[in-house]
């Protein structure tokens, strides 16, 4: 539940582990100059602890300003240095339009459903690993 001011408190930044090493960061309330530092610390701590595939869930966020967008930009840069990924879950079409307006959707995926968001966080296959249907096939001349 959001506090009376609508600002995000520490209890409104909740993390949970999803499948295959994905960490969900569920936010509630407003992400603005008053809450950005707290959010940045939480995301930095996760990255420092080895969480490199982050899903930032904005389904219960009512407002995000440029400071909040800056936190996400800083986080994606940190994750890239560690070969990690950031995806934003944002079902609100108006808020998604803001990500498009500032071009953040070109830097990290911003999806309207959890299912779509998770597709961007699947582990990458090694470029030397054959696709599942091609394993064990022989190459070379046919008789």
Q: Evaluate if residue 133 carries a pLDDT over 70.
A: no
CA 72, CA 77: separation in Å to the nearest integer?
A: 9
| Category of 83 on φ-ψ map: left (φ > 0), alpha (ψ -120 to 50) or beta | left
Q: What is the band of 10 on the pLDDT scale with cuts at 50, 70, 90?
A: very low
User: Sorting pLDDT into bands at 50, 70 and 90, what band is 7?
Assistant: low
Does the model's pTM come out above 0.85? no
Tell me, what's the pLDDT at 62? 94
pLDDT at 26: 97
What is each CA distance from 116 to 36, 57, 83, 119, 142, in whole angstroms? 26, 12, 21, 5, 42
- pLDDT confidence bin for 122, thresholds 50/70/90: confident
User: How long a stretch of residues is the chain?
Assistant: 143
Structure tokens that stand for 19 in this block:
């499948």
Residue ranges of domains in the chain, CATH in brackets: 10-124 (3.30.750.24)
pLDDT digits (tens, 9 = 90+) for 49-102: 999 999 999 999 999 999 999 999 999 999 999 999 999 999 999 999 999 999
Q: State the DSSP string of 49-107.
A: TT--EEEEEEEEEEEE-HHHHHHHHHHHHHHHHTT-EEEEE---HHHHHHHHHHTGGGT
């Amino acid at each position: 539940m959001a506090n009376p001011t609508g600002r995000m408190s520490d209890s409104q930044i909740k993390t949970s582990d999803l499948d295959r090493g994905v960490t969900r960061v569920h936010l509630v309330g407003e992400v603005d100059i008053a809450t950005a530092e707290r959010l940045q610390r939480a995301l930095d701590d996760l990255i420092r602890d080895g969480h490199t595939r982050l899903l930032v869930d904005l389904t219960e966020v009512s407002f995000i300003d440029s400071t909040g967008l800056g936190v996400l930009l800083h986080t994606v840069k940190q994750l890239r240095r560690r070969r990690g990924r950031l995806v934003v879950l944002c079902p609100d079409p108006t808020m998604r339009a803001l990500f498009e307006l500032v071009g953040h959707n070109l830097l990290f995926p911003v999806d309207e459903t959890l299912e779509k968001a998770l597709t961007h966080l699947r582990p990458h296959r090694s470029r030397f690993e054959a696709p599942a249907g091609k394993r064990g096939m022989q190459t070379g001349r046919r008789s």
